[in-house]
Amino acid sequence: MRYVTLSWPVALALVLAHTCRGAPVAETTVGSGDARHGGPTQSELRMATEYLERYYSLKGERHGRRRRSESTFSAKVRDMQRFFGLNVTGSLDPATLEVMRMPRCGVSDVQEYSDQGPKRWTKRVVSYSIGKYTADMPERTVEHLIGSALNVWASASSLTFVRSFSRSANILVDFVTREHGDSYPFDGPMGTLAHAYGPGEGIGGDTHFDDDEVWTSGSDGLNLYVVAAHEFGHALGLSHSNNPESLMYPTYKKRNQQNLLSREDTLKLSILYGTRTGLPYHYSRPSWSPFYNPWHLSPRFPLLLQDKCNPNLSFDAVTTMGESTLFFKDKYLWIKHKQQCDTKEGPIKNFMPKIDSSIDATYSVPNKSTVYLFKGPKFWTLRGSQVRGKAKSIHKFGFPKQVERLDAAVHMDGTDHTLFFTQHLYWSYNEHRRAMEDPHPRYMKADFPGVNSSVSAAVHQDGFIYFFSGPVVLKYDYKKKQVVGADKANSWLGC
């Protein structure tokens, strides 16, 4: 339990409203509407009063009574209408009431961060931790989306975000419901969706998501990546914008996930933290396997979030390396650590400067601390994070001369055997004897029933072989000789 001095939280305004920008018209009375609407009802007036008290500083009287001075009330209505680009009528017309009914911010649109103490973090390395998860998606998906949302801001600033497993992290993420201990309770489905606190000690930076909402990683429901990216803007010190193109605009809408930040967002961030001069360093926890030495990325590489979660994504090669899994696609590489939320990614040559090509197949032999990478008729040997020597011919393994490339390879953990696949055939190789078990290949359909198409990658984990075929990965029980499960290939990247 952390004892803190509460500041006003900053919450995500998610308003699914269609707004228009019109010229101001003459103010009317509080209760007036138009001929079609007939004026607000008592419940609408009560809802609007609570809305304006919470978001536009309308003052309420003591003992729970509401001050409904027409001049004060109408002034606050006009403030709200200006912010959302509505016709500035000062009255509760249908368009205004429609916006007020929509899920939106948990705090004022007119409050500045200067009222809350520090406007920015005074450190360049900011820790974050995920406390309570949502049951709407797997934990590794939540971790991926939270890490990716933070990277939106890291990629545009000098900040680096480091995963912590402590409740004392700078930014503590929790999925909670209703009253959750910070005096700003959530209100159930489709009300206030999330809120975050500005930079500071104690509760500063903490970000809460309403777990009564339906969180997703796609277009249905509420996209956690987009919402979290908005919230983390608040956790860094940014307030809401009335520019609809800004990520900090207080409405939820589908956005280009490869380019969430507007020029305005980038400018405001640079005012607080300066511009990015190089790629933020991604710190690793001490629990990384000694076999895996994290690589430093070169200063420039693209973030391909959309490709990463494309349901049609397939991999050219996959292998484990210590407690990490490496995924190759064209000239790109993802490195996913089993205990880490972020995925290191970039062109292969950023991690392995000697390799400037795609990879056809790969496998690792843990007891040799060695990874083999195959491209066409050549292969490289990787130990630690270094490519050893020059590329060699794949025929050193004993393949006949007509074999010019491999489709996939997998080492059977706990044995001396490695399987090589090409089209509808496969070979078994003995790592101890460094020779093929049989110079003649066998047919896949005979020994792997259920794997009916060619495979592009394979990996052995937890006693199962996982065959990647296009956008699908098959879970194969080698002892029972049957497929026991299937999933999307990109699910291995947390999508």
Q: Between 64 and 163, whose confidence is greater?
A: 163
Q: How high is the pLDDT of residue 8?
A: 37
> 135 and 256: one domain?
yes
Tell me if residue 75 falls in helix, strand or coil. Answer: helix
For residue 162, the enclosing domain spans 113-273
Q: How many beta carbons lie within 10 A of that of residue 102, not counting itself?
A: 15
Q: How high is the pLDDT of residue 19?
A: 35
Q: What is the pLDDT of residues 202-253, one digit of tens each?
A: 999 999 999 999 999 888 888 899 999 999 998 999 888 888 888 988 878 8
Q: How high is the pLDDT of residue 124?
A: 83
Which pLDDT band, with edges at 50, 70 and 90, does 78 fall under? very high
Mean model confidence pLDDT for the chain = 79
Q: How high is the pLDDT of residue 250?
A: 82
Q: Between 181 and 172, whose confidence is greater?
A: 172
> 335 and 392: one domain?
yes
Specify the CATH number for the domain of residue 456.
2.110.10.10
Specify the CATH number for the domain of residue 80.
1.10.101.10
Q: Where among 273, 305, 337 does a domain terminate? A: 273
Q: How high is the pLDDT of residue 342?
A: 66
Q: What is the pLDDT of residues 203-216, one digit of tens each?
A: 999 999 999 999 99
| Whether the predicted pLDDT of 347 surpasses 80 | yes
Q: How high is the pLDDT of residue 244?
A: 83
> Which residue type occupies 106?
G
> 130 and 80: one domain?
no
In a domain? residue 285: no
Q: Where among 57, 78, 101 does a domain terminate? A: 101
| Whether the predicted pLDDT of 175 surpasses 90 | yes
Residue 41 C-alpha from the chain's centroid: 42
| Whether the predicted pLDDT of 161 surpasses 90 | no
In a domain? residue 299: no
> 89 and 122: one domain?
no
Q: What is the pLDDT of residues 263-286, one digit of tens each?
A: 888 988 988 888 654 333 333 332
Q: Can you give the three-state secondary structure of the chain, one letter per residue?
A: CCCCCCCCCEECCCCCCCCCCCCCCCCCCCCCCCCCCCCCCHHHHHHHHHHHHHHCCCCECHHHCECCCHHHHHHHHHHHHHHCCCCCCCCCCHHHHHHHHCCCCCCCCCCCHHHHCCCCCCCCEEEEEECCCCCCCCHHHHHHHHHHHHHHHHCCCCCEEEECCCCCCCEEEEEECCCCCCCCCCCCCCCCCEEECCCCCCCCCCEEEECCCCEECCCCCEEHHHHHHHHHHHHCCCCCCCCCCCCCCCCCCCCCCCCCCCHHHHHHHHHHHCCCCCCCCCCCCCCCCCCCCCCCCCCCCCCCHHHHCCCCCCCCEEEEECCEEEEEECCEEEEEECCCCCEEEEEHHHHCCCCCCCCCEEEEEHHHCEEEEEECCEEEEEECCEEEEEEEEHHHHCCCCCCCCCCEEEECCCCCEEEEEECCEEEEEECCCCEECCCCCEEHHHHCCCCCCCCCEEEEECCEEEEEECCEEEEEECCCCEEEEEEEHHHHHCC
pTM of the model: 0.51
Tell me if residue 179 falls in helix, strand or coil. Answer: coil
In a domain? residue 280: no
Q: How high is the pLDDT of residue 373?
A: 95
How many structural domains comprise the chain?
A: 3
Catalytic residue among 53, 143, 179, 231: 231
| Whether the predicted pLDDT of 298 surpasses 50 | no
In a domain? residue 218: yes
Which pLDDT band, with edges at 50, 70 and 90, does 372 fall under? very high
Q: Between 187 and 295, whose confidence is greater?
A: 187
In a domain? residue 205: yes
Which pLDDT band, with edges at 50, 70 and 90, does 107 fall under? low
| Whether the predicted pLDDT of 111 surpasses 80 | no
> 56 and 143: one domain?
no
> 381 and 484: one domain?
yes
Arithmetic mean of pLDDT, 153-164: 86
Per cent of the chain over pLDDT 70 is 80
> 91 and 130: one domain?
no
Residue 253 near residue 104 (C-beta atoms within 8 A): no
In a domain? residue 308: no
Which pLDDT band, with edges at 50, 70 and 90, does 341 fall under? low
In a domain? residue 211: yes
> 338 and 215: one domain?
no
Q: Between 318 and 118, whose confidence is greater?
A: 318
Q: Between 447 and 338, whose confidence is greater?
A: 447
Which pLDDT band, with edges at 50, 70 and 90, does 2 fall under? very low
> 88 and 230: one domain?
no
**Least confident range of 26-35, 355-364, 396-405:** 26-35
Q: Which of 4-13, 19-28, 37-46, 422-431 is the most confident on average? A: 422-431
> 204 and 268: one domain?
yes
Q: What is the pLDDT of residues 24-56, one digit of tens each?
A: 332 334 444 443 456 789 999 998 998 888 778
Q: How high is the pLDDT of residue 280?
A: 37
Is 231 labeled as catalytic in the residue annotation?
yes
Q: How high is the pLDDT of residue 430?
A: 93
Specify the CATH number for the domain of residue 202.
3.40.390.10
